[in-house]
Amino acid sequence: MAKTYSEKLLDPRWQRKRLEILDRSGFSCESCEATDKTLHVHHKLYRKGAMPWEYSDHELEALCHECHEEKHSVRKRLDETLARLSAGEIEQVLGFALGCLALEELFPDEVEEELKNHTYQLNGWSESRGFYARLAFPVQPEELEEFMSIEPLDSRAVFEITVHGLPSKREEQ
């Protein structure tokens, strides 16, 4: 008979993984930094068929009960909102989210030397529009075409666009 999720959380492999994540966080909430509250280990995402202990460390975080509940509440609201969007709108949201990650990688401490060698794969106009919107300002269709033609769209290119604008705008100045 298959184990319930609660039974899987009693497995020694999960207990070991859980302690590793709690230790990594210094036994504090990674959101509010509380050290005097009961801590949970939160799965940032769920993969069908994966056991609780089969997740990478970056997919798990230590959260107090209140922050854990809040994460699930926000996820529920996000899922409900995404369910109401068209496919193109969802792609634009995905592009915006990728732009958020790109900025996080580019400006960890506003220091150019810390650029990571990452390439961004954008699939189509909607994702590109969302990505560019996160990096800069509302984009004109002709600018979006220029943006989409940048190969490869890597951390260095994103940094240049973010700081100096698109190549055509740099040439105008």
| C-alpha distance across the termini of the chain, in Å | 70
pLDDT, residue 52, reads: 95
Question: Would you state the pLDDT for residue 81?
Answer: 96
| 8 A C-beta contact, residue 62 and residue 19 | no
Helix (H, G, I), strand (E, B) or coil at 77: helix
For residue 60, give both structure tokens: 């798990």
Predicted confidence at residue 114, as pLDDT, reads 46
Backbone angles phi, psi at 35, to 5 degrees: -115, -5
Tens digit of each residue's pLDDT (9 = 90 or more) over 133-167: 888 766 677 778 888 888 878 877 887 887 777 77
CA pair distance 142, 149, nearest whole angstrom:
11
The pTM is what? 0.72
How would you class 57 by CB atoms within 10 Å of its CB: exposed for 0-12, middle for 13-18, buried for 19 or more? exposed
In which residue ranges of the chain is pLDDT below 70?
A: 107-117, 137-139, 169-173
DSSP class per residue in 102-163: HHHHH-SSS-GGG----B----HHHHHHHHHHHHSS---HHHHHHHHT-SS-BHHHHHHHHH
